[in-house]
Chains A and B, each alone.
Chain A
Amino acid sequence: MLAGTKDAPLIGPLLMEEREGVLAVRFSAMASPCELLLHTIDRASALELGAIAAGEAWRIEKKYSRYRQDSVTAMMNGRTGSVLRVDEETASLLDFAAQCFELSEGLFDITSGVLRRAWKFDGSDRVPDAAAVECLLSLVGFDKLHRDGTFLMIPDGMEVDFGGIGKEYAVDRVYDLLVARCPVPFLVNFGGDLRASRPLPHGPWKVAIERPDSDQSAAMMLDVEYGALATSGDSHRFLLKNGIRYGHVLHPRTGWPVQGSPRSITVAASSCTEAGLLSTMAMLKGTQAQRFLEEQQVRFWLL
């Protein structure tokens, strides 16, 4: 997820901490605690690599956060109805979103954010009016965008949001930037979406994945050697009415929360983008989540 408070300063501090031969460079980006873990490296190099990681994370946040008025996302959403020329990176992300839309048969849709106009997941019982949701559905559908290479036209009233892939994409981008520069094993972790280069000499990386329970201390510990983990969940954002819990994962075809999804899905895959998409798609499959993941033959953890 790509978030960030409005007008938040994009350049923050880098904090360094050393524990058992692992240096952690921590910073905050995309409304998440982020860290780069490095095995046995001098502090100056760690800080340099940390700055590359943070710089890329902040760049992607600044460029794609829909909360920032100067972002590319805001620019695209602010100019609906006219033909835009987008840069190559944005075009690649749109291509990727198109493929995900297609292979999820419309379940993964970066235009579904307009449904938030009706749904406010604030823990209350304010479930929206069915007619209002129905009305917004006409503004959802990636196939309604007109695209040709770097040209894009978003029909009036629609909007795009890279929030569903931004953080995972940032993890992979940082991984790619560091893999050529970093001589020691490292792990990039942006708020639980992570990717490791190779295991530590004495064993796998131990990472804590937040559980969706109210008891925050009970984090799930996972071992990671190579590859990526991504987690989707509806832990904190929901509505509760007449005993029905409405999770924040909205089905882009019905406009209503997907029922029967696990509370949290963590998937292991070779890249964070891939893991993130698999966990998001599984979440959208509702009761079919587990079966979908089994078919993909990936490691996963459901809660």
Chain B
Amino acid sequence: MQLEADTAGVRRKLIAASCALLTAATARGEETSVPQKLGRLLENWQIQSAVAYYREDGRVQAIEPVVSAARETADGGKIDFNFTFDSLSGSSPNGASPSRAAQTFASPSAKSFDTARHTYTVGPGRLPVDPNYSDARAAGGANWTFNLSRLTQATVGGKFSYEDDFYSATVNASIDHSFNDKNSTISLGVSSENDFLQPIGGAPVPLSDYALFEKGGHKSKRGEGLLLGLTQVMTRSWLAQANVSLDRFSGYLNDPYKIVSVIDGAGTPVLYVYENRPDSRTRRSAYLENRVAWHRSSAALSLRYMTDTWGVRSDTAQVRLRWWNAARDQYVEPTVRWYRQSAADFYRPWIVNNEAQGPYLSADSRLAAFHALTYGVKYGVKLNDRLGWFAREGTEFNLRLEYYQQTIQDGPAGPGGLSGLDLYPRLKAVLFQFGFNY
């Protein structure tokens, strides 16, 4: 009977269908098309990539692509690589203070004030900025973490950074030891950095007259760092971390492009001199972070205190919250960061001609007393299997928007003609970042 013949064939067809299902599953381990090969190549790698656009109001703008790749090694360790490329352009303050009159400056590469091509003029009352500032930086690093024992891990790594006028290489090593049922981890890290500077036009002689173009050759500096940390699992949903660190830099620590205005009693600049910073800086810092998670939310609160031998003390507090939606495939992460620092002992927005000065001097606003607030929000969406073969667990797109506002604490009022000028303009910046994790 036809019907019986059909039913009896069910098993044969079923064998064929099961076989197709299972061989397809096995074969997926050996796919050959290009995207699948790529997928296999990346199979054990976690890739994070992002492009950030940063813009300071009226000053520099930067584009920064970042990519990092990490994978677990067969023995439970980890290896990771990262690469960054920065491209910065715009206007950067040169350190001179505003003036009632227009001021003319030479570009770093100029040998004299001869040609208009190598000079720029800043209008009356304006903060002097070099309008042709541009810089490109390529940086990369790698770390390898491996197990020394069941409870002890070691990491060795290195990084480099390359700019036209600056090369830097760092090596680092650390050791982590867990105890107390792996609820506590103590870490000890050391690092060593060597930098080589080849400023455009040469490294200026500190405190020399800017108009004399007295410049030397290349310079170098080095740094050593030490970090001691403790990470503690407090409860199933609370993790605390505390670090103390000590680092020391020595060598040429000046910014070769920064100058200081020397003014007369009427507030008129009479000359500009190159800055001069101490040739060593020792920094101590303490860091505390608490992370808690509950239901579909998590929060991280971190505090940092830093003090150095230049007299700069800073405090940072940051709160980051994250909320997941019910399906746990989208999150919103608002962040607020507050930062405050005191000025370096030798920070002077300008100096007055013929008044006694210490040997060290800088008008770099990064060494001024200021406070800053950053507000940010990040939105992320996990793709899971929404893109078919391409997506996998952890595939995520995210967007970050940050607004930064820095307020320099008002220093001394300017004498004479400087009074009434905005000597300490606020800095505002926005950051827009688009990220993709795979």
Please report the C-alpha to C-alpha distance between residue A75 and residue B328 in the assembled complex, in whole angstroms: 12
Restricting to B384-398, which residues have a CB under 8 Å from any CB of A? 384-389, 391
- Chain B residues closer than 8 Å to A87, beta-carbon distance: 385, 388-389, 391
Q: Is the CB of B18 within 8 A of A271?
A: yes
Q: Given A69-B327, A89-B28, check contact A99 B17 (CB 8 Å).
A: yes
User: What separation, in Å, do the CA atoms of A84 and B28 have in the docked complex?
Assistant: 20
Q: Given A89-B28, A172-B22, does the pair A274, B14 have CB atoms closer than 8 Å?
A: yes
* CB <8 Å contact, A70 and B387: no
**Chain B hits for A100, CB < 8 A:** 14, 17
Q: Which residues of A contact B329 (CB under 8 A)?
A: 70
Q: Once the chains bind, are B20 and A103 in contact (CB under 8 Å)?
A: no
A45 at the interface (CB under 8 A from B): no
Residue A287 interfacial (CB < 8 Å): no
Write the B30-48 contact mask toward A (1 if CB under 8 angstroms, else 0).
0000000000000000000
Instruction: Please indicate the chain B residues that have their CB under 8 angstroms from the CB of A270 in the complex.
Output: 15
Contacting pair A96 B17 (CB below 8 A)? yes
Q: Which residues does chain B contribute within 8 Å of A173, judged by CB atoms?
A: 22, 25
Determine if B270 is an interface residue (Cβ-Cβ < 8 Å): no
Give the complex CA separation of A87 and B20 in angstroms.
Answer: 16
Contact of B388 (CB < 8 Å), options: A69, A85, A92, A104:
A85
Q: Which of B5-13, B127-135, B271-279 contacts A (4 or more CB under 8 A)?
A: B5-13
Q: Cβ of B21: which chain A residues have Cβ within 8 Å of it? A: 92-93, 95-96, 169, 273
A169 to B20: give the CA distance in the assembly, Å.
12
Q: Are A85 and B14 in contact (CB under 8 A)?
A: no
> In the assembly, what is the distance between CA of A16 and CA of B26, in Å?
28
Supposing A69-B328, A92-B21 touch, asked if A99 and B13 sit within 8 A by C-beta, the answer is yes
Asked if B24 lies at the interface with its beta carbon under 8 angstroms from chain A, I say: yes
User: Contacts A95-B21, A96-B21 given: A297-B11 contact, CB under 8 Å?
Assistant: yes
Which residues of chain A have C-beta atoms less than 8 A from B388's C-beta?
85-88, 150
Taking each of A85, A90, A281, which has the highest tally of chain B beta carbons within 10 Å of its own beta carbon? A85
Closest Cβ of chain A to B75, distance in Å, is: 13
Known: A95-B20, A274-B15, A274-B18. A295 touches B25 (CB 8 A): no
Q: Smallest CB–CB gap between B66 and chain A, Å?
A: 28
8 Å CB interface, A43-90 against B: 63, 69-70, 72, 74-75, 78, 84-90
Q: With a CB–CB cut-off of 8 A, which chain B residues contact A95?
A: 20-21
Q: Which of B11, B19, B328 contacts A70 (CB 8 A)?
A: B328
Question: Nearest Cβ in chain B — how far from A62, in angstroms?
Answer: 9
**Most-contacted residue by chain A among B25, B328, B387 (CB, 10 A):** B25
A-B contact count (CB 8 A): 98
CB distance from B36 to the nearest CB of A (A): 8
Q: How far is the CB of B12 from chain A (nearest CB, A)?
A: 9
A270 to B16, CA, bound (A): 11
Question: Is A89 a contact partner of B14 (Cβ separation < 8 A)?
Answer: no
Chain A contacts for B385, CB-based, 8 A: 63, 72, 75, 86-87, 90
A88 CA to B40 CA, complexed, in Å? 14
Interchain CB contact (< 8 A) of B28 among A63, A88, A297: A88
Contacting residues, chain A, for B28 (C-beta < 8 A): 88-89
Contacts of B25 in A (CB 8 A): 89, 92, 173, 176
User: Which A207-234 residues sit within 8 Å CB-CB of chain B?
Assistant: none
The DSSP consensus for interface residues of chain A is helix
Which B residues, 290 to 348, have Cβ-Cβ distances below 8 Å to chain A?
Answer: 326-329
Could you tell me if A88 and B389 are in contact, using CB atoms closer than 8 angstroms?
yes
Q: Are B8 and A296 in contact (CB under 8 A)?
A: yes
Interface centre among B21, B327, B386 (most CB of A within 10 A): B21
Evaluate contact between B22 and A295: CB separation under 8 angstroms.
Answer: no
Contact with B387, one of A85, A96, A99, A296 (Cβ below 8 angstroms): A85
| Nearest A-chain residue to B31, judged by Cβ | A88
Q: Which residues of B contact A121 (CB under 8 A)?
A: none
Complex: chain A residue closest to B4, CB-CB: A295
What is the distance, in angstroms, from B206's C-beta to the closest C-beta of chain A? 60
A298 an interface residue at 8 Å Cβ cutoff?
A: yes
Contact of B18 among A69, A96, A150 (CB under 8 A): A96
Task: Return chain A residues, CB-CB under 8 Å to B387.
Answer: 85
* Any B CB within 8 A of the CB of A238: no
Which of B11, B24, B327, B391 has the most A CB atoms < 10 Å from its CB? B11
Kindly state whether residue A188 has any CB partner on chain B within 8 Å.
no
CB of A168 to closest CB in B, whole Å: 9
> Which residues of B174-226 are within 8 A (CB) of A?
none
* Complexed CA–CA distance, A103 and B18 (Å): 13
Q: Which residues of A contact B17 (CB under 8 A)?
A: 96, 99-100, 103
Give the CA-CA distance A99 to B7 in the complex, in Å.
14
| Bound Cα distance from A297 to B4, whole angstroms | 13
The interface residues of chain B lying within 8 Å CB-to-CB of A104 are 10
Q: Which B residue sits closest to A62, measured CB to CB?
A: B393
Instruction: Indicate if A292 sits at the interface (CB-CB under 8 A).
Output: yes
Q: Which of B22, B326, B327, B391 contacts A273 (CB 8 A)?
A: B22
Which residue on B lies nearest to A292, using beta carbons? B7
Pairs A–B under 8 Å by Cβ, sample size 24:
A69-B326, A69-B328, A75-B384, A78-B327, A84-B386, A85-B386, A85-B387, A86-B385, A87-B391, A90-B385, A96-B18, A96-B21, A99-B13, A99-B17, A103-B17, A271-B18, A273-B22, A274-B11, A274-B15, A292-B7, A296-B8, A296-B11, A297-B8, A298-B11
- Excluding A172-B18, A271-B19, 19 further A-B contacts by CB distance (< 8 Å) are A75-B384, A85-B386, A85-B387, A87-B385, A87-B391, A88-B24, A88-B388, A89-B24, A89-B28, A90-B385, A92-B24, A96-B20, A99-B17, A103-B17, A169-B21, A172-B22, A271-B18, A273-B18, A296-B11
Which residues of A line the B interface, CB within 8 A? Answer: 63, 69-70, 72, 74-75, 78, 84-90, 92-93, 95-96, 99-100, 103-104, 150, 169, 172-173, 176, 269-271, 273-274, 277-278, 281, 292, 295-298
What 6 A-B pairs have minimum CB-CB distances, sorted nearest first? A85-B388, A99-B17, A296-B11, A96-B21, A273-B18, A92-B24
Seen from chain B, the residues whose Cβ lies within 8 Å of a Cβ on chain A are 4, 7-11, 13-15, 17-22, 24-26, 28, 326-329, 384-389, 391
